[in-house]
């Protein structure tokens, strides 16, 4: 009887030990993102963020998977850099920057795969990259330049002084999106010169106007977003067309989004 009791105690201790080891398995998660970028040169950078408990020794053999609706091609891909830059609640935050060479057309990237410490990991992505569109009308930043990074967008929104290169009647303003994510569903109001855009707004070539975009409180704060603002307009002949706001907009802080995502992971696991 004593031997049986001793055996049961040993088995019980082994179960606790094994459960403890399982609880300490390393993790790696990609920070959610929706990236809609344009091509402005031969090399296009993509920044991805990850949160992990791994001690990263090697990161190799990076590859991308393209969606079948992609139209175009790229000449190649390379890793520009990867590095840890912060830690939060037991997780390290690291950034992986990829370089895509000579993007042509309109491509959609569904996943990224790489070998981390000689183990292969695959992560879903939502990335759209387009060769620069040739449009007759563009909307440029005003005399003080444009705010490329807007890390407080989820709380503060976007505001910018703009001007057109032509006489137009503005009929609508919206975000282009990635095809999988529509930022417009999180927008409460759009203002031009402090008035809600409800009807056509006449803008003359070179005249400055003040654009404000106010998001609602439902916009998740753990998502990295890059998007393009499209302005729909009528020209002098009444023809409807669109033009891009030529400010590449980055609506996130990697640190803030990563920390918020870690909080999400911990809350989900509790």
Q: pTM to 2 decimals? A: 0.84
pLDDT-derived band at 25, boundaries 50, 70, 90:
confident
Q: Going from the N-terminus, what domains does the chain have, and what CATH number goes with each?
A: 28-132+254-269 (2.60.40.10), 139-250 (2.60.40)
Q: β-pairing, 229-234 with 168-175? A: antiparallel
Q: Which of 110-114, 133-137, 143-147, 224-228 has the lowest mean pLDDT?
A: 143-147
pLDDT-derived band at 134, boundaries 50, 70, 90:
low
pLDDT in tens, 171-195: 999 999 999 999 999 999 999 999 9
Contacts 24+ apart (CB under 8 A), 25-28: 26/52, 26/53, 26/54, 27/52, 27/53, 27/54, 27/91, 28/52, 28/53, 28/54, 28/116, 28/121
Average pLDDT, integer, range 84-111: 95
Q: What is the 8-class DSSP label of residue 3?
A: H
Q: Is the confidence at residue 30, as pLDDT, over 90?
A: yes
Q: Is the confidence at residue 11, as pLDDT, over 50?
A: no
Q: Collapse the DSSP code of 131 into the 3-class scheme (helix H, G, I; strand E, B; otherwise coil) and give the result.
A: strand
Check if the beta carbon of residue 234 is closer than 8 Å to that of residue 240: yes
pLDDT in tens, 254-268: 999 999 999 999 998
pLDDT in tens, 115-133: 999 999 999 999 999 986 6
- All residues at 6 or more sequence positions from 59 whose CB lies less than 8 Å from its CB, including other chains: 79, 82, 96, 114, 115, 116
- All residues at 6 or more sequence positions from 60 whose CB lies less than 8 Å from its CB, including other chains: 114, 115
């Amino acid at each position: 009887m004593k031997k049986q009791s001793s055996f049961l105690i040993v088995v019980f201790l082994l179960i606790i030990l094994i459960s403890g080891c399982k609880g300490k398995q390393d993790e790696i998660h990609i920070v959610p993102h929706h990236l809609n970028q344009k091509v402005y040169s031969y090399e296009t950078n993509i920044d991805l963020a990850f949160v992990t408990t791994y001690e990263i020794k090697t990161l190799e053999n990076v590859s991308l998977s393209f969606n079948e609706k992609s139209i175009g091609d790229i000449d190649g891909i390379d890793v520009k850099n990867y590095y840890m830059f912060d830690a939060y609640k037991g997780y390290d935050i690291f950034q992986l920057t990829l370089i895509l060479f000579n993007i042509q057309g309109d491509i959609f990237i569904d996943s990224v795969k790489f070998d981390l410490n000689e183990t292969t990991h695959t992560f879903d992505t939502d990335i759209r990259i387009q060769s620069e569109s040739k449009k007759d009308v563009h909307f440029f930043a005003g005399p003080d330049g444009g705010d490329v990074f807007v890390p407080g967008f989820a709380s503060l929104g976007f505001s910018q002084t703009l001007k057109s290169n032509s006489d137009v009647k503005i009929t609508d303003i919206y975000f282009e999106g990635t095809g999988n994510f529509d930022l417009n569903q999180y927008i409460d109001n759009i203002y031009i010169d402090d008035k809600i855009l409800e009807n056509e707004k006449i803008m003359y070539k070179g005249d400055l106007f003040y654009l404000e975009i106010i998001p609602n409180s439902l916009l998740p704060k753990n998502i990295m977003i890059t998007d393009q603002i499209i302005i729909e307009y009528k020209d002098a002949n009444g023809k409807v067309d669109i033009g891009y706001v030529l400010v590449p907009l980055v609506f996130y802080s990697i640190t803030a989004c990563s920390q918020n995502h870690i909080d999400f992971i911990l809350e989900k696991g509790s």
